[in-house]
Each structure stands twice: as structure tokens, then as C-alpha cells.
Amino acid sequence: MSEHGSAQTPEVTMRVLVYSDDVNVRNDVRLALGRRPAPELPRVEVFECATEPAVLSAMDAGGIDVAILDGEAVPAGGMGICRQLKDEIYRCPPILVLIGRVQDGWLATWSRADAVVPHPIDPIALADATASLLRRRLAAPA
């Protein structure tokens, strides 16, 4: 026990991978998520990637609870990466894809994205969609 009368337990955090070649998009996502996208969820730790190889390496290493991929990233767009991850990773974590236009939703369906949010990023919509995916991840069997 600590001097305050209770044992200190480390706080659980959830890891969110954010991929975009655009630092401004990564910053917008980080700001929208804040420390926790919903009050009842654990804190989130954002892991940023600017290239496709970095995303694939991080996802292969494991420990990512949700991935947010920029569908407008170049040269490798988030929708193609999403489809690859869903095909190659057993029990792939939920993936949210940022799409250029609402009309691009059908492409996100092809990519097997679990959620989509259009550009420009609406912080409330992004936090809500991410919170939903984090809740789903928490409820999934290990």
C-alpha cells in the first residue's frame, strides 16, 4: 500500500495508430481524440505513422487497439492499406478510414473498414466513431 492508503495500479491505456502522410491530418486526429475519446474509456496513446511500411510494421508487431487510416494519403492510401491489413492480420483490430468525400463510402466498404469519417475532420464525429471502435475492442475476446 502507498502512503495514501491504497495500492497504486497502473492505468490501462489503449493504443491508436494514426496513419497519414500529412502531419496536419495526424495532428487533427490527435486533437480530436484528446486523452480519451469518451469519459468511460481508458486513456489513449496515439502512435503516428507517415508511411505504409511503418503502418505494416506497427500492425504486425501487435498491441494496436484501433487504427485510423487516411484514405487520401499518398502514395499509399488508407483504403488499400486497410484491405491489406484485414486480409493479412488474424483478428485485425478495428480500422477507421478517413475518406475524401461522403460519396467515397462505397470504397471504404470495399476496403472492409469498420468505420468512416469524411474530411474535413469533424472532431466530435471522429471521437464518437473511434470511441465506438474502442468499446468494441474492449468487448472482444482476447
20-67 pLDDT, tens digit each: 999 999 999 999 999 999 999 999 999 999 999 999 999 999 999 999
Note down the domain range covering 71: 13-139
pLDDT score, position 71: 95
Indicate whether 5 pLDDT > 60: no
Q: Is residue 64 part of a domain?
A: yes
Handedness of CA 129, 17, 61, 107 (dihedral sign): positive
Do residues 113 and 97 lie in contact, with contact meaning Cβ atoms separated by under 8 Å?
Answer: yes
What is the model's pTM?
Answer: 0.91
Question: Residue 114: CA atoms inside 13 Å, Cβ hemisphere, count?
Answer: 23
62-93 pLDDT, tens digit each: 999 999 999 999 999 999 999 999 999 999 99
Indicate which CATH number applies to the domain containing 126: 3.40.50.2300
Q: Pick from 97, 105, 87, 103: which is nearest to 129 by CA? A: 97
The gap between the terminal CA atoms of the chain, to the nearest Å, is: 30
